[in-house]
A and B are shown apart, each in its own frame.
Chain A
Amino acid sequence: MADENTIAPDRGSGPGLEVTNLSVERGGRRVLSDLSFTVSSGEALLIRGPNGSGKTTLLRTIAGFLSPISGHIRLAGDEEQPLRERIHYVGHLNGVRASLMVEENVRFWARYLGGSEDRVSAALERFGLASLASIPTGYLSAGQRRRLALVRPLLAFRPLWLLDEPSTSLDARSTAVLAEAIDEHVSSGGIVVAATHLELGIARSRELRLGFAAEQA
């Protein structure tokens, strides 16, 4: 696997996400140190590593929730637009409100994230949530709520998807839908950075292995 983990020359269609010498501390402990990698557009990067190796920290730093103690994160494209408007972040938490209907949650995100409301029903359909559209989200199972969270990236086009363990509590069918959605996004020139144990089975994916020393393998 070693050959996959080294920083391969760009296989994609152009420069994408560039992370240089990134160091992040959490609670006084250096979680990531001098991490550098690039992901070209049209490529998926799967982050692997044992618990506590900094997968979530890396994603949250790229999303801008954590500030690194050193290093740079650059996303190619319209530099005028702030980074936060060019990413979709799906974290451990689903980002849905229990007392809103399924569809209300999705419509809210579509409007708020600058997406089109026309995509709402198609996106719900895709993850098999169409029949649950008018049920309060609080009644959904864990897997159904996870699917609801994964609908979000489909609502508005944004080049970079940051997914943190996206397949948690998903069944096999939904996992396949997720892999397909990722594949589609990547082949349309998007970038996906996912912390996952899921085998996506897509051609243009690489792995980044984080260890406790936060070195690339």
Chain B
Amino acid sequence: MKSFRTLVQRDLLLAVREGGATGTALGFYLVVIALMPLGLGPDLQLLSRIAPGVLWIGLLLAALLSLGRMFDVDQEEGVLEVLTTGALPLELVVAAKALAHWISSCLPLAILTPILGLLLNLELAAYPVLVVTVLIGSPAISFLGSVGAALTLRSRRGGLLIALLVLPLYIPTLIFGISAISAVVTPPGSLEASLLLLSAVTIASLVIGPIAAAAALRAQLG
């Protein structure tokens, strides 16, 4: 457990030191959402109707930007092979790095989400549930994303490839995230069921992501 905490702390320290990733994700998210009203015109009703979906999709895309860096510098500098000689199984190494990615990338994006909701005239009732769905759903972004990051480790310019591999995996998170919000904004619909399913997707990803990513990393170490 000490190794796990040490690795998470190191990754967070690196995220602060190397900056870039978090700032880029936040900036990208802001710009994408700010462009929406410009592109769609000042139709407030239209904006507030599509706001939850646009915010969720923007968040997914912004979080993708930093996924590629989850393993690649560690691999280039030989850190990854030494990490495999610690007390942690590779699955937990992946979990620690995915957790650090969630804290350094997804959490700031989740905090920015309600602020960006203002730009899209998001309905007042939707704010709390939007924040809750983003917080519950976003760990899946990091943990499923780790699979894409591990698979594309050796490929040059793997960034786009990650998006192709990983975005389809985010569909359940997106669907249940949006359906929870629309249950509140445009009843009928069951908020509870959507939130439970969203949690189930996240919990499954916490398990499946590290196992699949560790298998991919083992193949790449060879």
List residues of chain A with CB under 8 Å of any chain B CB: 63-67, 84-85, 87-89, 91-100, 104, 108-109, 111-114, 152
Q: Which of B77, B79, B81, B87 contacts A114 (CB 8 A)?
A: B87
A87 to B86, CA, bound (A): 9
Determine whether the beta carbon of A100 is less than 8 Å from that of B77: no
Determine whether the beta carbon of A112 is less than 8 Å from that of B86: yes
Stretch with Cβ within 8 A of A (4 or more), from B11-19, B21-29, B57-65, B112-120:
B11-19
Q: List 12 A-B contacts (CB under 8 A).
A: A84-B86, A93-B77, A93-B78, A97-B74, A98-B77, A99-B17, A111-B2, A111-B3, A112-B7, A112-B86, A113-B87, A114-B87
Determine whether the beta carbon of A97 is less than 8 Å from that of B84: no
A113 to B84, CA, bound (A): 10
Minimal beta-carbon separation of A3 from chain B (angstroms): 34
Tell me whether B186 is interfacial, beta carbon within 8 Å: no
Minimal beta-carbon separation of A119 from chain B (angstroms): 16
A41 to B84, CA, bound (A): 24
Q: Which residues of A contact B83 (CB under 8 A)?
A: 112
A67 to B81, CA, bound (A): 14
Q: Which residues of A contact B74 (CB under 8 A)?
A: 97
Q: Which residues of B contact A65 (CB under 8 A)?
A: 81, 84, 221-222
Q: Beyond the given A113-B85, A114-B3, A114-B87, please list 18 additional residue pairs across the A-B interface where CB-CB is below 8 A.
A: A65-B221, A88-B85, A89-B81, A91-B81, A95-B79, A95-B82, A97-B73, A97-B74, A98-B77, A100-B17, A108-B6, A108-B10, A109-B82, A111-B6, A112-B10, A112-B83, A113-B86, A152-B82
Whose C-beta in chain A lies nearest to the C-beta of B93? Answer: A112
Determine whether the beta carbon of A99 is less than 8 Å from that of B85: no
Determine whether the beta carbon of A87 is less than 8 Å from that of B85: yes
A121 to B77, CA, bound (A): 23
A87 to B77, CA, bound (A): 19
A91 to B82, CA, bound (A): 9
Residue from the set B17, B82, B84, B86 with the largest chain A CB neighbour count within 10 Å: B82
Minimal beta-carbon separation of A56 from chain B (angstroms): 12
Q: Which residues of A contact B81 (CB under 8 A)?
A: 63, 65, 89, 91, 93, 95
Q: Which residues of B contact A89 (CB under 8 A)?
A: 81-82, 85
A108 to B77, CA, bound (A): 15
Determine whether the beta carbon of A96 is less than 8 Å from that of B77: yes
List residues of chain B with CB under 8 Å of any chain A CB: 2-3, 6-7, 10, 13-14, 17-18, 73-74, 76-79, 81-87, 221-222
Whose C-beta in chain A lies nearest to the C-beta of B80? Answer: A95
Whose C-beta in chain B lies nearest to the C-beta of A109? Answer: B82
Q: Which of B7, B14, B76, B87 contacts A99 (CB 8 A)?
A: B14
Residue from the set B2, B3, B78, B221 with the largest chain A CB neighbour count within 10 Å: B78
Q: Which residues of B contact A96 (CB under 8 A)?
A: 77, 79
Whose C-beta in chain B lies nearest to the C-beta of A108? Answer: B10
Minimal beta-carbon separation of A79 from chain B (angstroms): 16
Nearest 7 A/B pairs, CB to CB: A93-B78, A95-B82, A111-B6, A95-B78, A99-B17, A65-B221, A84-B85
Determine whether the beta carbon of A63 is less than 8 Å from that of B85: yes
In the complex with contacts A97-B73, A99-B14, A64-B84 CB distance below 8 A:
yes
A37 to B136, CA, bound (A): 54
A84 to B218, CA, bound (A): 13
Residue from the set B7, B10, B74 with the largest chain A CB neighbour count within 10 Å: B10
Minimal beta-carbon separation of B88 from chain A (angstroms): 8
Q: Which residues of A contact B79 (CB under 8 A)?
A: 95-97
Q: Which residues of B contact A112 (CB under 8 A)?
A: 3, 6-7, 10, 83, 86
Residue from the set B2, B76, B81, B222 with the largest chain A CB neighbour count within 10 Å: B81
